[in-house]
Amino acid sequence: MKKIIFYIFLCLSSIGLSQNVIQNTGNLKIFNNGQIGFHIDLANDGNFDQNEGLAGFYSDDTRTISGAFKPIFNDMEVVVTNDLFLDIAVGITNNSNFILGDVVTPRSAIDINLDFIQNAFYNGDSNLTKVDGYASIANKKSFTFPVGDADKIRPLLLDSETINNTAKSAYFFEDPNTPSTFTNTFNTDAKADILTAVSTYEFWDLDANIPSKVTLTWDQDSSIENFVNVIEDIRIVGWNKALNIWENLGNAAMAGNFNSGSVTSDTFVPDDYEIITFGTSLTALSANFDNYFVSPNGDGINDFLHFESISLAPDNNNLKIYNRWGRIVYDKEGYDNTFGGIANVKGVVTKGNALPDGVYFYILNLRDINIKHQGYIYLGYQNQ
């Protein structure tokens, strides 16, 4: 056990020692390069948030931080064999050093978290040294949350368009159909049209209100092979709070195999979704990945989505078009090259109204020749 040197400034402080608990009821501060080691529990009922040195937590058993007020440390070191438990939120302004044991927060109380503030970072994260519960950030644009569950670390990388005032995340190694700490359930059969499956093995909770991309990782326990046939078809999916369905959040980048890997979403607003996990979408069924530009502005150029191959099955075909979230917006039997940006399916926009600018996904099924095409459409309304 390392030697701890104390440089503590006490001003109108009251520190009590009772039943293996240090209780702060006044003003406590670690100055400069000062260090303090807690070999018993800390109950912070006073000010302990202007620290400049190191606070270490050490035990061959467990340690707990509790109290009425959030302590904020410059540096924190965790060497606790059977984990450091937080009954209140704890802030870090510089470095959290995970050496032995997890930092455990109650998943039923998302306001209790290990909070990385502004330039704060961490090191030493692993399967047995991480945040088991909720980690949070303050005033950060990008951050990898060192979160996991039990003996498994499953970090979430958040890459936001601008700085988050606050954001938080936790990982759950459990079935979203029967979550342990949420008041509602997340039916994996209730999914957008383009999705074919949603994981029943794990999920993440991510709270942030800035448009962002996220990167998730999987391992053998994710059982990807049980719901994904082609690894390239893996997607990040999210439970839409307003619609109560799973939606496709995209696959902007992917690396790995069925045993391990990572996938990055398209840009979305995390607060629009209760939880996120892995899913899979409709697969490519032919070698044709034609992409099209449609500009229905009446200038006679690209006003309609035109497939030359329609002539191979003019009557026995079907065209489906999906928005970026995987919800169907157009469905036409016997498609005749007349799609000009108008929805014919209720739900996303009013049926018969123009769809907004953006990228859409299509599947064209030419039944007479047993071929399916898929690709993307960019819909843009240029000035005439």
- Give the Cα separation of 274 and 246 in Å (integer): 10
Residue 381: the pLDDT is 79
Residue 103: the pLDDT is 98
Digitized pLDDT (tens) for each residue of the chain, 384 residues in all: 344 444 444 443 456 655 689 999 999 999 988 999 999 999 999 999 999 999 999 999 999 999 999 999 999 999 999 999 999 999 999 999 999 999 999 999 999 999 999 999 999 999 999 999 999 999 999 999 999 999 999 999 999 999 999 999 999 999 999 999 999 999 999 998 888 899 999 999 999 999 999 999 999 999 999 999 889 889 999 999 999 999 999 899 999 999 999 999 999 999 999 999 999 987 544 445 578 899 988 888 899 999 988 888 888 999 999 988 888 999 999 999 999 999 998 877 777 788 999 889 899 999 888 888 888 899 997 654
Evaluate whether 279 touches 364 at the Cβ level (below 8 Å): no
Residue 46: the pLDDT is 95
Residue 2: the pLDDT is 43
Strands 273-281 and 147-149: unpaired
348-378 exposure pattern, b = at least 16 Cβ within 10 A, e = fewer: beeeeeebeeeebbbbbbbeeeebbbbeebe
- Give the Cα separation of 38 and 48 in Å (integer): 14
Domains of the chain: 292-379 (2.60.40)
